[in-house]
Amino acid sequence: MDIFLTEKVEKCVGKKYTAMSALYPATFKLAISEAIEEIYSKLQPRSILDILFGWLLLGRSTFVNIDRAKEGYIETALIGGAFKLKGKKIRAAIYVKDSGNYKEVWIFTKPADNPKDIMSIFEDWIKNRNPLHKKVINIFGEIEELGGYSWKDIAIPPNFRMEIEENLVWPIKYLDKIKNLNINVARGVLLEGERGMGKTTLTKIIGREIKGHGTYIRARPSDIQKLGWDYVFEVAKTLAPSLLCIEDIENLTPSTKTPDMGAFLTDFLDYLDGVKERGDVLILATTNEPDLMDLRVIDRPGRIDRRLRLDPKDKKNFGKEWKMRVLSIHLKNFGLDKNLRIKNIADIISEIPYTGAHIKELVYTAALQALRREGIDGKLDNLILTREDFEKANEILKLQLKIQYSG
């Protein structure tokens, strides 16, 4: 403890004191701020005797030094004085400071008092009254926007949606009911497949589905590497039930063995296996390259329980019927020639492994063909797309697809 702090503490509570400390993830800075505000509100005004004679006596000083950040939370604080807690006065000094990725909280009281009486206020705000509970956030505690997405905005096979709802949404929305049936709620789902198949949109829809029932936490691989799995799971467990969303997880679970990533991966497996307490934390991960992942993560249930492969080459799940649903979503604002149906467009592309993003581009390119046909300078009240527009668009897209896969 530095000299300045020691002097402050001794002036407030005397040379003999009891100290207690705790480390909290900096993600919980808002909860810590609320705790400080509550404690500050319990600071008792100095009496006339304090003002007249306090400078002669140890243990009579009152001081407040709060560093208020622009974001509305408190960065650091040093508060000392007499606080009225649970019907009694406690002389104490409270010190909060940054400590790496954590906030360090120190409570100093006279030996006859118990610092737990004040520390319990921090504990209550962190665990029970945390402002982040049931919110949509990133791992740093910042509010994230999910957009207005719903199941209507994505074409997904019914069996895939069922797996997602049963393994990720239900355990959070119906937590108590499922726990009472002795069913494990700590599930893990991996969405894998090419870019453009809607994995990111799916994560946002799932986030909206659990909003208000549990906490949705987005964590980028680079942030997890910086903070460590212990930090990430401490945040997720405290805000449970929670869904930890990790996109591009192959960056954290490489199949190529390296000394640095080996220990890091072991930490992750310890949480998946229950060696380290996981709590009511569900995991939603995505990857474009599952072949780059360490097999230990995906080789058995209990780690990743469901692997859902969004593969445009899978004709059973992503064949003509799926293509028709994707086309319906992206054709909402366009008119079709009276002799053209969505199923006819799906027939044109039935043998081509287009992703959802490719099909969206097909519609846009067909609209450009129609604009060229009608003339961009003409009066265009309503654009009607024809079969020929889609056939031309398909030829353009097939060339782009060839470039994509050859590159």
Q: What does each of the 407 residues of the chain score in pLDDT, given as a tens digit?
A: 677 789 899 888 989 999 999 999 999 999 999 999 999 999 987 655 454 444 444 456 788 998 888 777 888 999 999 999 988 899 999 999 999 999 999 999 999 999 999 999 999 999 999 999 999 999 999 999 999 999 999 999 999 999 999 999 999 999 999 999 999 999 999 999 999 999 999 999 999 999 999 999 999 999 999 999 999 999 999 999 999 999 999 999 876 666 677 888 999 999 999 999 999 999 999 999 998 888 888 877 888 999 999 999 999 999 999 999 999 999 998 999 999 999 999 999 999 999 999 999 999 999 999 999 888 776 667 789 999 999 999 999 998 887 776 65
Q: What is the pLDDT of residue 172?
A: 98
Residues spanned by the domain of 328: 315-406
Q: How far is CA 108 from CA 20, 47, 80, 92, 173, in A?
A: 7, 22, 9, 5, 42
What is the model's pTM? 0.90
Place of tokens 């946002």: 204
Q: What is the pLDDT of residue 319?
A: 96
- 145 within a domain of the structure (yes/no): no
249 and 174 in a single domain? The answer is yes
Q: What is the pLDDT of residue 256?
A: 66
- 140 within a domain of the structure (yes/no): no
214 and 261 in a single domain? The answer is yes
Provide the CATH number for the domain around residue 43.
Answer: 3.30.530
- 146 within a domain of the structure (yes/no): no
Domain finish residue from 310, 331, 351: 310
- 256 within a domain of the structure (yes/no): yes
34 and 168 in a single domain? The answer is no
42 and 73 in a single domain? The answer is yes
Q: What is the pLDDT of residue 376?
A: 77
